[in-house]
Structure 1
């Protein structure tokens, strides 16, 4: 197993496309050197031959799933190989059982959560039984427990003889299954390739998310770092009416299947809310009610005192800006500049203000210089940042982000989270995440969602201290959470690993 890490846009996915044959067959450009598969030069091979040796799970499962139902999707590659129906069904059942998604076998792929789609895409590749498996950000949309299960499966596949190239930003998680080698890329070049033991000294801990105690030890040897102060203040909301209210909200995509059950909560000015929970728990469905994309079947949602049944999505957008989980659901414009200007233009902002908003948003997400690039031609991580910048440019009162760190390298997502929370324009921020550490560092309030209900609601120091509750919600305590809980009597609140170095 080779773990490939590096910042967004450094060339990791491009390298994978060279190996799986998509470059130069589907993505044109200048290619030099040789790529050997099983010791043979694959330059003249058709893509169909390569795909039987090299299986790939893409960063964005939306771009890989073709079947309308899970069974059809997992069987798609096998049908193209012309295998007998009995063997196809046997391989499909084994693949979905391996991943623990047998219950999804007959579901429509359109109605699956992002994490469930990721598992279905992986099942489709595993059913092909390739000798080399390329996994491009396989953990990006998975809850922590599902990520551990996926990694355990990958480890089992390796032990059974499969070779794996895993591209992943969640380095700390992958190190638990003991990759044989690590490669770190920067600006299209290999900066480090070798054993895991050498990675700690070869990279900056601000670039790669390393175990907390390792970061604490490194940071203790450096001058004390200064971190930006959040512009959002929890005390703002104490004497002001709530921005959003859920009152007895219930919802189901069909009459027989209820997704949300009796949701009661308020979002007040000054709050930074992390919404945590397993895949399919109803987190995104809950948030889509706040922005008016979905309407409750019972109860009501109020945005600044008005029922969302009486508001259009455009009217809600001036109060709540929403960043979708999948960038492909948002991005459409021919250039990054036009993408970012679209929302402010529709809100009636002046041309001079729009230009200022676009430039500020690009700077925050570290995309300055890419204004003329097509958004959908960028890497997944860069696309995600474009989608965040598009909402930042609108200057909504509440920023709502669905998996903001998915596909992001550590340095970039810490940087834009610091910048977003330092902006004076937002009265509240809400983000759905599987990253427990994101809640530890930034949240003032944590909502745990499980089976369509609010399982816990409170300060992170209280909610995340209940390890039994975390386990029931398929969340896994991290090294940073453990380090914070151990030092909480001295700090009084959760902080990032570098700050713990001074405790």
Structure 2
């Protein structure tokens, strides 16, 4: 039976103690059981803060000034302890690194149930049920530290589902998932809602979520709810530059409004055969007998803009960590120029390759954004004048002006991600390597900083791991597809991405932008963003 107003938010306002501006302003919302609600908006608009107010992390873990009331199942949440709230409201955090505590997957999924004193048999039954539902039973006895980011995201969700909450909050649940895993996860969430759960999902991958027909879409901006209604009216209400809508919607909007855009001219050098980084039959494993990479041979060349695609756990991040010396091959060689990385320190390699981690919590530590960005250049011996210029340019590129004196770890996940990218940009390495650069980013921000990065003259090559095929469509001039620790495809985007059967076999799902690019490739001559296609047509 559908329960109306299962969760009610009345006149909610909140301001973090360390911030002058309120994060939430006069929020009034009601949520019913059996519904999926999509919450969208630009990075830093208050989405995550809203989630924290609902699940009790505000005020129990995050301090600030809060007014208004939230009730769930008829109970005022301000009167409940965090443990009591967690039995009703489950949360999957934006960064799974902050949620996983157990060393083994089975222990992690069982953790919440153990704290609620369930019997051993009931715990094991629920653990196995959750793992099976998410199709990750094969991870049951794996060490959590050896999992990929996407696998950790699934494990975090399994731990919450095992608790069987009535309300499920998800903060960017698709950010680290490969396209096929995202589809599967969304299908499960749709089933859970149809079975009576209330699902609130913060997500930038709007096109993916629309496929499961959310009952309601909420758009936030500057801490306020600017729109709530059906998905059908979404494209007419929301600025498509802020939220990435399906490509046909964007093309129709641009043609109707006769919007005229100017697009950047990228300044990267022409591709040539000069090898900057070489992999020679590289083999690697974390656990003896569980190979992660085998037989990897490739060259990163001058002028390459490479998108690395592939499913969760395929070995993409492991591959890239070999390039920057964080991992050393068990067999084979990685060469930077003529030098073997096994004989180079990470600091030496950083002169050539700058690496943006998938999780910003692995990078950020300084008390202010400005100090965070200054740290790398200082350690590389840059002078003060250069550092000042490098930091300012990096801040401008990632749209963080005005936040120089704010603690990085107090920012939203998306803003933290941009700080981590800026920290590497400030180092002026010759090769930029980014792991999931668009994770946690709204459309405008990631398009703006990718446009700016590719116009910088100081990079010889750029490589980015991504589950966002559209990012590869718009920016890459070369695709590396990795699966089961092997390089299964290497070539131009137009050649690799047109084979839909091959994409599906490697858990990649064609997008509407890829569809329209292939449809009009004869007219455009190259892959483009939706706005460009609209202008050509």
- TM tier relative to shorter chain: over 0.9
Per-residue CA deviation, residues 461-492 of structure 1 (Å, 9 max, x unaligned), is 00000111101110000000000000111112
Q: Deviations over 1:413-440 (max 9, x none)?
A: 0110000001111111000000000000
> What's the offset of the Cα at 1:41?
2.0
C-alpha deviations, 1:197-249, integer Å up to 9, x for none?
Answer: 121111111111111011011112323211111111334x24xx211111111
State the partner residue of 1:479: 512
When the two structures are superposed, what TM-score results if normalisation uses the length of structure 1? 0.98
Is 1:228 matched with 2:260?
no
Structure 1 stretches of 4+ with a deviation exceeding 6 A read none
Taking the TM superposition and a 5 Å limit, the aligned residue runs for 1:172-321 are 172-220=207-255, 221-235=257-271, 237-238=272-273, 241-321=274-354
1:338 matches 2:371: yes
Q: Name the CA distance, whole Å, in 2 between partners of 1:168 and 1:484.
A: 25
Q: Report the number of matched residues.
A: 500
Tell me how far 1:47 sits from its aligned partner. 1.3
- Give the match for residue 7 of structure 1: 42
User: How far is the alpha carbon of 1:130 from its aligned partner?
Assistant: 0.3
For the residues of structure 2 that align with 1:94 and 1:344, how far apart are their CA atoms?
49
**CA distance, structure 2, for counterparts of residue 419 and residue 106 of structure 1:** 43
SS at match of 1:244: strand
- The CA deviation at 1:264 is 1.1
1:133 match = 168
- Describe the SS at the equivalent of 1:274: strand
**Residues 14-163 of structure 1: matches in 2 within 5 Å?**
14-163=49-198
1:328 and 1:111 mapped to 2: Cα distance?
17
Asked if 2 retains the 8 angstrom alpha-carbon contact of 1:234 and 1:444, the reply is: no
Could you list the per-position Cα deviations for residues 73-117 of structure 1 after superposition, in whole angstroms to 9, with x for gaps in the alignment? 101110111111100000000000000110011111111000000
Secondary structure at 2:433's aligned position in 1?
strand
- 3-state SS of the aligned residue for 1:140? coil
Quick check: 1:278–1:474 contact (8 Å CA) kept in 2? yes
Q: Deviations over 1:145-171 (max 9, x none)?
A: 000000000001001110000000000
Secondary structure at 1:494 match in 2: coil
SS in 1 for 2:78: coil
- List runs of 5+ in structure 2 lacking aligned partners: 1-35
Unaligned 5+ runs, structure 1:
none
The normalised TM-score by structure 2 is 0.92
2:443 paired with 1:410: yes
- Partner Cα separation in structure 1 for residue 514 and residue 230 of structure 2: 27
SS for the counterpart of 1:225 is coil
* Secondary structure of 1:373's aligned partner: coil
In the alignment, the residues of structure 2 paired with residue 410 and residue 24 of structure 1 have an alpha-carbon distance, to the nearest angstrom, of: 30
- Structure with bigger strand share is 2
Of the three residues 493, 496, 503, the one matched with 2:529 is: 496
Pick the aligned partner of 1:467 from 500, 523, 532: 500
Alignment root-mean-square deviation, CA: 0.9
